[in-house]
Structure 1
Amino acid sequence: MRVRTEAKRELILKTAGTAFMELGYEGTSMAEIAARVDCSKATLYGYFASKEELFLGVIAHGVGSAVDPLLDELFASAGDAPETVLRRFGERYLVVTLAPDAIAMKRLIIAQMSDPELARRFWELGPRRYLDALEKYMVAATGAGRLDVDDPKLAAQQLAALYDAETSSGGLFAGGQTFTREYITRIVTYAVRAFLRMYGSR
């Protein structure tokens, strides 16, 4: 009987992530990953039933380790001054999501969006959780008298768009572009100012 371990799962995810980045999704096989992990394909399939499941596992692992703590902290700070909270969150979030490896992974994901089921599951793993966390913050901060938001879902989408306004296209399509901490601070400052003009407490 094979015993699954968390350490082995972590190794598989890390190794698979590197392989997908180097070879692309189509160019990466389960046999290639098994060889890199130094395990049998049967062992690999014991952890992940298919290449698609492994690819989604790589995405979920990256999102969870990097972004989940930020989302938890955001909601916990609903009673604090929104300008401070949203600037801190925006800067930390963009530092993570605009890192070169994160942008490369985003390009890899977009290349697979012709598969509607994969696109849907990626949406559930990443963007939806991000928007849901922002919406949850809008509700809590409005309840605490810190914001004046009557449509939390719309406000969450607008804030996300403001954060991404100067970076989304550049990060994906301008090869080699880097985003300095100073640049991120500037765009987040303007994004939060614009948001609070619409939704700051009256």
Structure 2
Amino acid sequence: MVRGNVTLETDPGRIKALPDVAEQILRVYWWLRKTVFTHEKSENPYLVVEMTKGEAQEFFGGRHFEPGWEMSYSFRGEILNLRRVEWAHVPEYPDLPWWQVHIRGYRHDDPPGLELTAHFEAEPAEHPKEHLDHLGIDVPRGNAVMQRILDEAGIAYTTSPDWPDEPPVVPDETSWASDAEEDTDTGADTDPGGAEGVDVEVE
């Protein structure tokens, strides 16, 4: 590029540093997230597993969980943030097809281990307004999904005093058909039911 009598050129050395700049920007963002957008820890029911943060990431990551959405709030003391996005049929919210099971983890002293709590909620990127309004947020359902995953893997855990004796039945999301498919179906009942949203602390 020529500006007046001066020729301007791109510095290839600085271009090579772009990945480092992106990483620095990301670090600044995470610092702001934990400094400015931090909530007090919720008092929802939880369970405690004898896992490190890394072991929990490996375990749940092998079951289709991924790092939490980048814009999610940080809760004080939180060391683990994972989610699993799914297409789910929630009868109360037929216009919201995308949901997520969101797991947060904290250090726990007595008994020692990793404290885990989960909730089921509208997926924030696809349904941002509904997510911010906590429409359909369901802690019992999220915790039930997490508990089932641990039970199926034979992972031992202890539960908080307010953990329900009988967790809600979690529908099999793979068994239901879309409205369009149901129009041409043979008439078989494919509606597995769903859990109602409950009033809980903001996640």
In which range does the TM-score fall when normalised by the shorter chain? under 0.3
The alignment's TM-score, normalised by the length of structure 1, stands at 0.26
Question: Which structure is higher in strand share?
Answer: 2
Question: Which structure is higher in helix share?
Answer: 1
